[in-house]
Structure 1
């Protein structure tokens, strides 16, 4: 799997994911906060399955 998430995109995904999960655990936003797992996992893995469909790549490294 080629990495296609990098830089600021990666950091923002991880932060948004963590914040949403923390808000869920504290009961602030309810079950909808579990959606935070998606940006957290994609940020940690460095791969977003939607990006190839949209022709996007924010990773500065060349993929071989």
Structure 2
């Protein structure tokens, strides 16, 4: 697994994950179980890998090794 979640994305995921987990304690009835999605969001933040990003070809991680033979343009 190659990291595909960048620092800003990771911070947003941590905040969102904590907010979602708080729904378990703030809401009543079946709606409260949506808070369990916070575990998934936090897991992607801490592993720095998002399977949905991998499927869609999205990558917000900017710490990649340079491609051999590729010249950076100014």
Q: Which TM class, normalised by the smaller chain length? A: 0.7 to 0.9
State the TM-score, normalized to the length of structure 2. Answer: 0.75
Identify the residue that residue 8 of structure 2 maps to in structure 1: 8
User: Partner of 1:38: helix, strand, or coil?
Assistant: helix
CA-atom RMSD in angstroms: 1.7
Shift of 1:23: 2.3
State the TM-score, normalized to the length of structure 1. Answer: 0.85
Identify the residue that residue 36 of structure 1 maps to in structure 2: 38
Question: What does the per-residue CA deviation read over 1:23-46, in whole Å, with 9 as the maximum and x for residues that have no partner?
Answer: 21x242511111111111001110
Stretches of structure 1 lacking an aligned partner (at least 5 in a row): none
User: Could you tell me how far apart the structure 1 residues matched to 2:6 and 2:59 are?
Assistant: 8
Q: Flag the structure with larger Rg.
A: 2
User: Partner of 2:2: helix, strand, or coil?
Assistant: coil
User: Could you tell me how far apart the structure 2 residues matched to 1:31 and 1:23 are?
Assistant: 8
Mapping of residues 16-35 of structure 1, within 5 Å: 16-24=16-24, 26-28=25-27, 29-35=31-37
User: Could you tell me how far apart the structure 2 residues matched to 1:15 and 1:44 are?
Assistant: 12
